[in-house]
Structure 1
Amino acid sequence: MAVFDSVAYPTSLSLGYGATGVNVEIERQYLKKRVQVGTCFSPLFLTEHWQLVVLSIEIYRHYGIKLQVVYLMSAIESIYKILKVYNQKDVVQIEPWFSIELDGPKRVENANLELDWRNQAAAHTDCLIKYGYAAEFLIVGDLDDILVPDHGTYYEEFVQNDFRRLKNSLAFLYTRFTVEIDSTRNPSKFLLFDALASAKVALYQPDDPKYVVNTSRAESEQAVHGLQLR
């Protein structure tokens, strides 16, 4: 992240080296409504399990999430069609996320291999810049990471943790557990209730935590130090 002094009301931004500069365009297209909580999903790559896509989006919808941002690199055609339907219904915002193609002499064979997890830190921060003004809190994770509130809505839980514990915290870290579900491959027989009823949670094998950012305080979505919650 670059931090620099600027003018009070900038009209443009460009990055350059020497005489070469590139204009930086920051789009804020989501101006339809202000929401309490949104989600930022890491870039999808070769995604093929449509059951997880539907399950995740519908669970977040159930708990009142009205802004779900999906960063998309590649997916099978059927999943892309599902995302397009959700997008047309204003449930999901689709953000294309591209691999890096460098012109000129190559100092490395593949620049994408120098990035961590398909450059997801940049995607998360891009989501904060574009959509952070539209939500008070943003849940950050993969599409198959589903955060379920302990009580009430996401917003009630986040506000309670925010004001009850650390009033200046930028993010909350939630412990993650692996969950196995059984599901049909036939879309006509797929039921959310059956998938959830089959869930088996590995409670004694906690995984790396996922986090929620307070958009009024965060400048980046690559959280390292946050308030750990169980």
Structure 2
Amino acid sequence: MTDPATLLADINARIAHAAMIARRKADEVTLIAVSKTHPAEAIVPLIAAGQCAFGENRVQEAQAKWPMLREVHPGIELHLIGQLQSNKADEAVALFDCIHSLDRPSLVTALAKAMDKTGNRVPCFIQVNIGAEDQKGGCAIADLPSLLAEARAADLPVIGLMCVPPAHIEAAPFFALLDKLAADHGLAGRSMGMSDDFEVAVMQGATHIRVGSALFGARG
């Protein structure tokens, strides 16, 4: 199996190439290594190779491995990329540096309370159900203006939009739509693109890409 440093260098080179084609700078794109389901011993080699932004799906899993890792490796940026239950808002605000899955009014309320309590204003992305898929999280496109207004009224630092496009069809139109929605609402961040389509996402304006299997191999 290819070593983590080589895999990371390859992903970064592909990001840079896609950015060049789009006449963007590679440093406009944050690579989030999706470490969900992977143990600390699989994460440490990527940290050693220079990766500093990681993504987790579940609060409980992140609590089990990241406090110790961050103690040994300061400077790590931790992103929550999975669905967040409102009753886990306090823990999420305490642990994560960014939340990518704000998708409903009840979560706006829970996060606002948690942030007010701690004084820690964690940047958030609103997750949009870009393909209108019943099985996926995210707010409906039609509900985005009202949810964004609620989040802003609650003083949540919304920095962008996030999406997971439908599988097995061309992702570019969905990324282009998210890019347009973010621009229309004055948001700079676009969290979009994963292992199979991150280059397309970079060419469509992604500021954060979430890459798991291309860095870690198949999930455990």
Q: TM-score range by the shorter chain?
A: under 0.3
TM-score normalised per structure 2: 0.28
Which structure has more strand as a fraction of its residues? Answer: 1
Q: Which has the higher helix share?
A: 2
Larger Rg: 1
